[in-house]
Amino acid sequence: MATVSSHILNGVDGTHAGGIAVSLSRIGTQGSTLIFATRTDDGGRLLEEVDLTGADIDATYEAIFATGAYWANRSIPSSESQIMQEIVLRFQMPDPGKKYHMPIILSPNSYSAWLSG
């Protein structure tokens, strides 16, 4: 099994970004297939196992982090209107036994993300 994980930090105040909705889909020419839909835990972490048995090693996956709702529940200074609603990361998982980790630092209208695997 492959493992998909993330740790999301609030770049405004340095806290963990818990409760963010996250979905992972396999995308292709025939549309997309939902792999999982969940939320980050109170510590801003995501940890999901993904069965890639028989999956195309060249397949593209799309992780969507619904950050708009997260910021809607927080006090944002009026000078910083929040316009970004989602973070979308597309990547491949060629090794079915590997861990794919996506740390994210987010603010109302920007983010920094990287993938280690």
Per-residue pLDDT tens for 48-58?
A: 999 998 888 89
Q: What is the pLDDT of residues 93-110, one digit of tens each?
A: 999 999 999 999 999 889
User: What is the Cα–Cα distance from 67 to 72, expressed in whole angstroms?
Assistant: 9
CATH 2.60.40.180 for domain 2-113, yes or no, is yes
User: What is the Cα–Cα distance from 115 to 117, expressed in whole angstroms?
Assistant: 6
Residue spans per domain, the chain:
2-113
Question: φ, ψ for residue 104 (rounded to 5)?
Answer: -140, 135
